[in-house]
Amino acid sequence: MAYILDFCKIQKATKLWCNARVNAKEFYFKFGFHETDKTFFKDGYDFVVMEKEL
């Protein structure tokens, strides 16, 4: 994750988002992501869109 965040900063990205499994949200919280209200179900898993301002 640190590599991706560094790469985004080099590319001057302003926001990074991902589709996170609901049971893995805590992992993304550690890196400063916040949970959005966008959720969906796919292949037997619940997902939530997580975002981080860079």
Q: Which residues pair with 47 in a beta bridge?
A: 21, 40
Strands (E), the chain: 15-21, 34-42, 45-53
- Number of other CB atoms surrounding residue 52 within 10 Å: 16
Residue 40 phi, psi dihedral angles, 5° rounding: -160, 165
pLDDT of residue 5: 96
pLDDT tens for residues 4-54?
999 999 999 999 999 999 999 999 999 999 999 999 999 999 999 999 999
CA-CA-CA-CA torsion sign (13, 42, 1, 37)? positive
Angle at 23 between CA 32 and CA 11, to 5 degrees: 35
pTM above threshold 0.85: yes
